[in-house]
Structure 1
Amino acid sequence: MTDLPPGAPIGHELPTCARHPDRATGLRCTRCERPMCPECLREASVGYQCVDCVSSGQRSVRRPVTFTGAAYSPTIVATYALIAVNVAMFALTAVLAGSVVDNQRSDLFADLVLWPYGVADGEWWRLVTSGFLHFGPAHIALNMIALYVLGRDLEPAFGKVRFLGVYFASLLGGGVAVYLFGGVNTPVAGASGAVYGLMGALLVALLRRRLNPGSALGVIGLNLVISFSLPGISLLGHLGGLVVGALVAAGIVYAPAANRNAWQSGAVVAAFALLVVLAVVRTGQLA
């Protein structure tokens, strides 16, 4: 026998749960009004709704998007992943070199650093892998702090995929700039090109949102002055990353609303394609 709930009319059978036909119930979903047992109901803003209506309502709710068209998520994942990879590479080269200060003495560092002659000889990966190497603890600390500060603002605004697109395009842009115009026998390493690309992306994003770009311009200007003033800094890598990052970001934030994802993907792919072509042309000149 089934106990009747308080207030149920005596002499009338209770309906069965729409999801569990073997269970009698005096409860109903306030949305679809189907009889439901307590296990199949969830508390809603007004009354209780069945799990089917709750699931349907969640699918129909549009997730908020940013001005780039990315689904908004405050969770930072890509930035932390990039920092982790850079720190892991630094730790590995330091262990192999037997020195934290002179980690560039490891064979792995020598195999991955941006050495233009090596790139011309077919070691093309140096254009990318050099962006995950750093000369000593101060070098990586400054770059990772800058990456975190920029990433915590840009990644939620651009979305993880678009953010990574800007980052890697800037990284490659810095490497190609060094390969095109730098000394052919001078090794270069660091995530600075990618970081400068994020600076350029931040400036473009502020302009797109019609916000005051003064702080971004000040940071970029100060860093460029430092790049010009201090010896041993790859100015070409910084400028290449800055220009490419700004251009790719512009292609993302100013993409037409119609087919926006296609336009944004095209901007990123076009940047990579152009950089590859420039690198191939340079290789032909050095061969």
Structure 2
Amino acid sequence: MSDALVPPDGPVGAQPETPVCARHSDRPTRLRCTRCDRPACPDCLRDASVGMQCADCVNEGARTVRRARTSAGAEVSNGRPIITQVMIALNVLAYVVTVVQSGSPMNNSRSDLFLSTSLIPDLTANGEWWRVVTSGFMHFGLIHLALNMAALFVVGPIVEQELGRLRYSAVYFLSLLGGSAAAFYFGTVCQQLAGASGAVFGLMGALLIVFKRQKRDISTIVVIVGINLVSNLFTNASLLGHLGGFVIGGLLTLAMVKAPQKNRTTYQVAAVVAAALLLVGMFVLRYYELDTALERVVEYARTCGPN
């Protein structure tokens, strides 16, 4: 055996131990991240503007980069239109339940669920206020459902991407309530109303504002809305409900996209609150009007009726 001294770094000519990936201890690698200089295997490296960076550095850089935003303040994203899909699913589910109860896909309005949730102003004013919301998920037959869901499927994702999920939800439900409020306030007390048309027309109004803001052609939207509104004059569809939803959806979206970048959220919340208060005011005023009219009828029957 030789007594020659061995260098502290190992025998002359020996290869140093190969480093392992910082994220995978079982993967030897000679590659390194150009940002943090840590060893990284090929699966953990990403193309960067300069060299290759590990996944950790890429994620850290993404958090510090300011993401692009839409005119309403939502982050630009190509994600799935979750809210639109949920609304379509709820409408379809409600329709299926009414079909099962009634035993008919076209005369489902006879079902117990439909009768207890559609908007009938007289019953609503007597305390059944849930109808102003639930009526937006009921439909008179398969064709009514298909037309509304087709429009929601086309228009919804565009508006949801521009507004973001939270703002989009506010526009959807306030448009739904806007249609109910218009029919309740201006319509007759015995009419039966149902359908997502108020919400859908609200989204059409929102899309009109979004396209106008983006300086895109709005002629197609105007024609579609115009045809639908005119067709209401020759069908049993509620013109008041459609107009109410369209006006609320359009005005609320206008307030959202016009809000100044500074304190944008505050302005948008104020717009939502103002729209909600307006609709509540319409419901309250109509309620007292109907209540007063009923009292007058009762008083007349008591004092002027046959003895």
Amino acid of the residue matched to residue 262 of structure 1? T
Length, aligned pairs only: 276
Q: Which residue, out of 59, 65, 74, partners 1:61? A: 65
Report the more deviating stretch, 62-71 or 165-174.
Answer: 62-71
**Which TM-score applies when normalising by structure 2?**
0.82
Amino acid of the residue matched to residue 252 of structure 2? V
Amino acid of the residue matched to residue 44 of structure 1? D
Q: Distance in 2 between matches of 1:77 and 1:176?
A: 27
Q: Distance in 2 between matches of 1:14 and 1:53?
A: 25
Please report how far the alpha carbon of residue 11 of structure 1 lies from its aligned counterpart in structure 2 after TM superposition: 6.0
Whether 1:239 aligns to 2:243 is yes
For residues 149-197 of structure 1, what are the alpha-carbon distances to aligned partners after superposition, in whole Å with 9 as ceiling and x for unaligned?
A: 1113222122222222111111000001111011101111111111111
- In structure 2, the residue matched to 1:42 is 45
Q: Which runs of 5+ in 2 are unaligned?
A: 1-11, 292-307
Q: Residue 95 and residue 40 in structure 1: after superposition, are their counterparts in 2 closer, same or farther (change >3 A)?
A: closer
* Aligned 8 A contact 2:46 2:55 in 1: no
**Which TM-score applies when normalising by structure 1?**
0.87
Whether 1:279 aligns to 2:283 is yes
Please report how far the alpha carbon of residue 214 of structure 1 lies from its aligned counterpart in structure 2 after TM superposition: 1.4
Q: Which runs of 5+ in 1 are unaligned?
A: 1-8
Q: Residue 25 and residue 264 in structure 1: after superposition, are their counterparts in 2 closer, same or farther (change >3 A)?
A: same
* Aligned 8 A contact 1:201 1:249 in 2: yes
For residues 95-136 of structure 1, what are the alpha-carbon distances to aligned partners after superposition, in whole Å with 9 as ceiling and x for unaligned?
A: 011111110001111110101111111111100100100011
Q: Which residue, out of 218, 226, 231, partners 2:223? A: 218
Q: Residue 12 and residue 208 in structure 1: after superposition, are their counterparts in 2 closer, same or farther (change >3 A)?
A: same
CA RMSD of aligned residues (A): 2.4
* Aligned 8 A contact 1:19 1:40 in 2: no
Amino acid of the residue matched to residue 259 of structure 2? A
* Aligned 8 A contact 1:14 1:26 in 2: no
Amino acid of the residue matched to residue 106 of structure 2? V
Q: For 1:138, what is the secondary structure of its paired residue?
A: helix
For residues 23-67 of structure 1, what are the alpha-carbon distances to aligned partners after superposition, in whole Å with 9 as ceiling and x for unaligned?
A: 99755432123x436499524345443443233123223333222
- In structure 2, the residue matched to 1:172 is 177
Whether 1:124 aligns to 2:152 is no
Please report how far the alpha carbon of residue 17 of structure 1 lies from its aligned counterpart in structure 2 after TM superposition: 6.7
Please report how far the alpha carbon of residue 247 of structure 1 lies from its aligned counterpart in structure 2 after TM superposition: 0.7
Q: Distance in 2 between matches of 1:143 and 1:89?
A: 14
* Aligned 8 A contact 1:200 1:243 in 2: yes
- In structure 1, the residue matched to 2:96 is 91
